[in-house]
Amino acid sequence: MLRTLRAVRDRFGLTAPFRIARGVKTAADVVTVTIGQGDAVGRGEGVPYPRYGETVDGALAAIEAVRPLIEAGEGRAAIGRAMPPGAARNALDCALWDLEARIAGTTVAALCGRPGPAPLASAITIGIDAPGAMAAVARRAAPAPLLKVKVDAVGAADCIRAVRAAAPAPRLIVDPNESWTIDDLLRIEDVLVEQRVHLLEQPLPAGADEALAGRRWRVPLCADESLHVTDDLDALAGRYTHVNVKLDKTGGLTEALVLAEAARSRGFGLMVGCMICSSLGIAPAMLVADGAEFVDLDGPLWLAEDRPGGAVDREGVLSPPAPGFWGGGA
């Protein structure tokens, strides 16, 4: 049976500016894909990321280029061969998973042999600001089990201390988003230990992380921008203890599941993250996050208005979207 394909740009305003070392975001621009076959409809979402040379227009053009494959009924494997990893392939891959489950009258969780999505502890992210302002956010978020602190190369130690003083109990991730040098890391390592930082995410630029090798760091290090797909793992051994799997980097749930398993088999700890996105972007990621040591899927919490039926956060515990929102089911 022939399929229909629709891909559009959607924009979600944020409740507050999201500041990281790379810049400030005030809205989430996403690509939403809808694939229909008969009475069944599958949806997926991708977030084109300028850091990786992506734009919304570029993602829409990439999806349009594979329209004949989709409309002819080709599946995830064919799309994986035809497209590189990234946001465009992620939107298509997740829509195809959703469609497959609905046609089969089952769920994506059942199709990939995983338990259904369940509430999980997911990081509450604190964007870059003055230390006092970051402390105020941390104080409100202090009941959450996990916080993530965005920093850059200026005043990072003061920001980390301020957050930890305001929220002494939660586990803490610090994320410089590639903004540090190896000298910055050496200078601040004592502070990371003193402030009980549980994970340091991508301190150095991707491509410069060879400087991490040959030293036993006292805080676990997680690769984010340095990791996209399974083939990247070998280069990270001896440099990082953990890896951050994001569907917009892997190009969809299909590769994310393979990457997560391969990372575990190589002895890496697993983190599952997301871009600033709607709940349609994190619903598939919640399946990968089952059993992950660190989960950072708070993208929808930054939106002024999420998609109807989306995920719900209660003090850092994220409940999955309503049944039938994504992944088949009722």
Q: How far apart are CA 15 and CA 306, in angstroms?
A: 11
Find tokens 């569907």 and name the residue: 247
> Is 25 considered catalytic here?
no
Helix (H) or strand (E) holding 258: helix 253-265
H/E element holding 136? helix 131-141
Does residue 148 carry a catalytic annotation?
no
Q: Which two tokens stand for residue 167?
A: 């929220």
Which among 198, 191, 189 is positioned nearest to 170, based on CA atoms? 198
Which of 25, 148, 150, 249 is labelled catalytic?
150
| CB under 8 A, 24+ apart: contacts of 219-228 | 219/189, 219/192, 219/193, 220/269, 222/173, 222/269, 222/271, 222/294, 224/175, 224/177, 224/273, 225/51, 225/177, 225/178, 226/202, 227/259, 228/85
Could you give the dihedral angle defined by the CA atoms of residues 174, 175, 179 and 181, in that order, rounded to the nearest 10 degrees?
50
Catalytic entry in 25, 148, 246, 249: 246
DSSP 46-57: E---GGGT--HH
Strand order in the sheet with 171-175: 124-126, 146-150, 171-175, 199-201, 221-223, 242-245, 269-273, 294-296
Neighbours of 237 (CB within 10 A): 11
Handedness of CA 249, 306, 163, 193 (dihedral sign): negative
Asked whether 222 and 241 are in contact (CB, 8 A), the reply is yes
Compute the CA torsion angle 249, 255, 257, 261 (nearest 10 deg): -100
Cα 263 from chain centre: 16
Q: Which residues are catalytic?
A: 150, 246
